[in-house]
Structure 1
Amino acid sequence: MSEIESSAPQARGPADHSVREQIVEAAGEHFSHYGYDKTTVSDLAKAIGFSKAYIYKFFDSKQAIGEAICAKTLSAIVAAVDEAVAGASTPTEKFRRMFKALVTTGVSLFFNDRKLYDIAAHSAGEGWPSARAYSERIRQILAEIVREGRESGEFERKTPLDETVQAIYLVMQPYVNPLLLQHNLDLVEDAPTRLSNLVLRSLAP
């Protein structure tokens, strides 16, 4: 389950789906040129040639449009993590690959598609549903890895699982939260490996 939910309403048919995609595409272009905050629904309506009222038939707010873009972007990051973890044979290696995949995809997004990165960062700062769902999914993956490590005897079992997962998640935040990652780009080559080593030592039985 790598799909991130958004608060945007669902498509109502093939024709509607095409219009929704057109709106989202125009929004992406405007957000990239002018930024999310400076773009209005009226701007999008003019760019597409629709009335503002018509756009509101598909999205109830500008945030809902941003949500549609953000949910798709965050789902791609989770899919990359799922793929990385699936290729590992031990919980230790799964954790290393998870952390690395999160940082690698985040950095790639920052440098290669800033419009998507900026929307993801905005969603994290504002606590959008897509950002909360993304955060929860990452914690779920982390909990699965820790639980597997405990069952195999690879990780300690004394600390409550939820406490362990939350502590590790907090350690990872500067490199997996889009809002924070942009301020830590000069550390991404070295810090994730060092932090992974620190976390794994703390998990040793």
Structure 2
Amino acid sequence: MKNAAPYPISARGPADHDVRDQIVAAATEHFSRYGYEKTTVSDLAKAIGFSKAYIYKFFESKQAIGEMICANCLREIEGEVKAAVEEADRPPEKLRRMLKAIVEATLRLFSQDRKLYEIAASAATEHWQATIAYEERIQKLLQDILQEGRQSGDFERKTPLDETTMAIYLVMRPYLNPLILQHSFDYTVEAPAQLSSLVLRSLSP
């Protein structure tokens, strides 16, 4: 997503350096094969063909590498969610599409690459900056939809906007947080439509 503001990531060296991209690409492949938790920076250095010291010129830790990979995944999910929202004309449908897209995109990450999903789980557990930024941006998108709905007369206006935003976000959170999602698989098919209907009824003016 070229227009997205960058997620905060702890890294060294010039941000646009080709070596940084090479390290991230190699690390993504290595983590996909062996897992994030079991891989050390020494393992990555050996796999890439760089010295451990050279990798540390660009990333201060394994977490910093994992955080950039995580940020890339979250940007893809955010892009899908925004695209789904933009396809809808009115705020109620935007809200439905938002929740549906979040569930589908997060599930795809889990089902297609369980090893990379480990990074997302670590990020959520340890509150990495990439995940914090992602959740803030999702909340902002949700708030924009709610604000638009209030202006169009689709949603009630009595409840403070920030309170409404947080309440609905908490309803959505089990399906966008990878750590919680793994305990909600039995409901992922029906949940988006049912939760959207419940939320929209609560928003009726």
TM above 0.5: yes
**Residue 118 of structure 1 aligns with which residue?**
118
Distance 2:120 2:67 in 1: 9
Q: CA separation in 2, counterparts of 1:114 and 1:13?
A: 28
Q: State the partner residue of 1:12.
A: 14
The alignment yields a C-alpha RMSD, in angstroms, of 1.6
Q: Given the alignment of the two structures, is residue 175 of structure 1 paired with residue 156 of structure 2, yes or no?
A: no
Cα distance in 2 for partners of 1:70, 1:158 equals: 38
How many Å apart are 1:3 and its aligned residue?
4.5
Alignment of 1:44-83 (within 5 A): 44-83=44-83
> What amino acid does structure 2 have at the position aligned with 1:200?
L
Which whole-Å deviations, capped at 9, do the CAs of 1:21-73 have from their partners, x for residues lacking one? 22112222332233212211111111112111100001111111001101111
Q: Which amino acid aligns with 2:197?
A: N
Count of paired positions: 203
Q: Does residue 1:41 correspond to 2:41, yes or no? A: yes
CA contact (8 A) 1:4 1:133 kept: no
In structure 1, C-alpha distance between the alignment counterparts of 2:8 and 2:174, rounded to whole Å? 24
**Structure-2 separation of matches of 1:10 and 1:151:** 44
Contact 1:92 1:149 (C-alpha < 8 Å) held by counterparts:
yes
Counterpart of 1:153 in structure 2 is: 153
Please name the residue that 2:97 is paired with.
97
TM-score, with structure 1 as normaliser:
0.93
**Residues 141 and 10 (structure 1 numbering): CA distance in 2 closer, same or farther, change over 3 Å?**
farther
Deviation at 1:12, TM superposition (A): 2.5
8 Å contact from structure 1 (residues 4, 72) kept in 2: no
Identity of aligned residues (%): 60
**1:86 aligns to what?**
86
